[in-house]
Structure formats: C-alpha cells, structure tokens
Chain A
Amino acid sequence: GQQLNQSPQSMFIQEGEDVSMNCTSSSIFNTWLWYKQDPGEGPVLLIALYKAGELTSNGRLTAQFGITRKDSFLNISASIPSDVGIYFCAGPYMRFGAGTRLTVKP
C-alpha cells in the first residue's frame, strides 16, 4: 500500500525560530492534509491541500502541495510555546505519516 514518510521525527527549537517539516509518498496523491495533536487529544486539522503547487496559509502556518504530487511541506514561522505537539501529514484514504514531535523552548 501507499507509504508516507515524514521527517524529521522530532525537533527541538527556540521560541521565535521558524520550523519546516515534510512528507513524501510512494505514490501520487490528490490530497495532502496537515494535522496537529496536543497531548491526550485527537489530531486537529490545520491545513488541507488539493492541487499540485498549491500554497495555503493558516496564521503562522504555511503548507505546500509539491509539484510532483508526491510530497508536501509545512512551515511554522516565529514559533511560540503553544506550537508544541505532534504534527502529522495525511494523504487519501485517511492514512497518516509517523509524525513530527515539536518541542519549543521559551
């Protein structure tokens, strides 16, 4: 089946720094979704992408649907402590990457 590779696995950054993470797939996707999970909670949708090359922002978050349709990127600008959590990419048929655990030091 399709495979989603998400990197990095974890990140430790200073408050105010920018963050970048990405996902690649073994097959062409028509959808990329980015989620955030807070401790003890279910994931919450951040950004949805439906077209190759699409660039979408949600506040300090920006995500892009790769031109090859096999990758996607999520950037967080000027990180703050409440950005802490696990970030997941997801593709069609509700399949998820392994997640990027973000720690922000004040």
Chain B
Amino acid sequence: EAQVTQNPRYLITVTGKKLTVTCSQNMNHEYMSWYRQDPGLGLRQIYYSMNVEVTDKGDVPEGYKVSRKEKRNFPLILESPSPNQTSLYFCASSLEGRDGYTFGSGTRLTVV
C-alpha cells in the first residue's frame, strides 16, 4: 500500500532532550515536507526537500533540523526541544511538488 509512515504517533518529552520523528514513504516521491499544525494557524511548513541532499527552509524552521540522505526517508530532528514546539506534526510527500501530496498520520508532540 502506498503510504507515508510517521513515527511515533504520540510523544511526550522534556525540555532539552533531543528527539527525532521519522518519516518514510514507499512511493518513490521526489518531494517531502514537514509541517506543524497549531490551532488557528493552519499547516505551517518547517522544511522541504526536493530530492536527496536538497533541503530548504519553510516558514518556521527555527529549532528544527532535517536530513534527506535517501529518497524514502526524511527525519525531523529537534536538537533541544522547548515547550513552544508542542504541536501536531505532519510529514507529506509528493511526486513532483505540484501534484497531490500524501500525508502521514501525524505525530502529536508534547514538550514539558
């Protein structure tokens, strides 16, 4: 089944403890992107990747890192999480960046 898999679905962590949210797609898509969703603020893009080793900042990149070492994986790294990064995170992929995007199921992160 064609899908985007995010893990974990739920995560509670403490301030400053490094964490990684994984994202993997099995559709050979070129484009991948990370978003955070907060009430009333829609889907804000964190980082975006057009291909392996090609990444670009979105609207809210501060406090986040990404890597795209292989086409299928696009992990989101929080080196030192803070409470203002408590949010619902989505990963998505797209074949060409202008066709339909396939979303993962989301990761609800709480930083205390």
A residues adjacent to B (C-beta < 8 A) = 1, 6, 9, 30-31, 33, 35, 40-45, 48, 50, 86, 88, 90, 92-99
Contact = CB atoms under 8 A, between A and B. Distances in A.
A50 B42 CA distance: 23
Contacts of A33: 100-101
B58 A95 contact: yes
Which of B33, B41, B97, B103: most chain A CB closer than 10 A? Answer: B103
Given A96-B35, A96-B43, A90 B101 contact: yes
12 contacts: A1-B59, A40-B106, A41-B105, A41-B106, A42-B92, A42-B104, A43-B43, A92-B97, A93-B48, A94-B92, A95-B59, A96-B35
B45 A95 contact: yes
Q: Give the top 7 A-B pairs by smallest Cβ distance, nearest first.
A: A42-B103, A98-B42, A31-B98, A45-B100, A96-B43, A94-B33, A99-B42
Given A42-B92, A93-B97, A99 B43 contact: yes
Nearest to A40: B106
B101 A45 contact: yes
Contacts of B33: 94
Interface in B79-104: 90, 92, 94, 97-101, 103-104
Which of B48, B101, B104, B106: most chain A CB closer than 10 A? Answer: B101
Interface in B30-55: 31, 33, 35, 40-45, 48
Given A31-B98, A45-B101, A92-B97, 6 more contacts: A1-B59, A6-B42, A43-B90, A50-B98, A88-B43, A94-B97
